[in-house]
Amino acid sequence: MTSSAQILVTLASRPQRRIGAAIMIIDSHLPASSDRGEKIFRLSTVLARHNAEAVRLTSAASLAWLLDGARTAIPTGGPPVFSARVDRDGTVVVRAPKNEAFRLAEEELSACRIDVVDWHAPFDEVAGDEIAESRIDIELRAARAQLLPVERDRYRTLGQDAATAMTQALLTARPAHSEHALAAAVASAMYERAIEPAVVLVAGESRSGVQHPLPTAAPLGRRAMAVATARRHGLHLSLSRWVGVGGTAPDAAIYEVEADAWEASRPGRRLGDVLTDIGISYARNGMDPDGASGWRLHHQGGPTGYAGRDPKATPSSADIVVNGGAFAWNPWVPGAKVEDTVVIDGGHVDILSTDPAWPTIAVRGRHRPAMLDLS
pLDDT digits (tens, 9 = 90+) for 165-179: 999 999 999 999 999
Query: Any residues with CB less than 8 A from the CB of 53 and at least 6 apart, and which?
Result: 47, 87, 88, 129, 130
Judged against a pLDDT cut of 80, whether residue 18 lies above it is answered with no
Judged against a pLDDT cut of 70, whether residue 271 lies above it is answered with yes
CATH code of 149-373, in short, is 3.90.230.10
pLDDT digits (tens, 9 = 90+) for 308-324: 999 999 999 999 999 99
Longest Cα–Cα distance in the chain:
77
CATH match of 13-145 with 3.40.50: no
- When mean pLDDT is compared across 64-73, 122-131, 255-264, 281-290, the lowest value belongs to 281-290
- When mean pLDDT is compared across 15-29, 82-96, 352-366, the lowest value belongs to 15-29
The stretch 25-41 carries a mean pLDDT of 92
Judged against a pLDDT cut of 60, whether residue 327 lies above it is answered with yes
Q: Quick one: pLDDT at residue 15? A: 58
Name the segment(s) of the chain with CATH classification 3.90.230.10: 149-373
Cα–Cα distance, 281 to 302 (Å, whole number): 16
Q: Quick one: pLDDT at residue 12? A: 34
Q: Nearest to residue 375, comparing CAs of 246, 226, 249?
A: 246
The reported pTM is 0.93
Q: For strand 348-351 and strand 342-345, is the pairing parallel, antiparallel, or unpaired?
A: antiparallel
Query: Any residues with CB less than 8 A from the CB of 43 and at least 6 apart, and which?
Result: 55, 66, 86, 140, 143
Q: What angle do CA 33, 38, 44 make, to 5 degrees?
A: 125
Judged against a pLDDT cut of 70, whether residue 7 lies above it is answered with no
Helix (H/G/I), strand (E/B), else coil: 147: coil
Query: Any residues with CB less than 8 A from the CB of 207 and at least 6 apart, and which?
Result: 179, 213, 216, 218
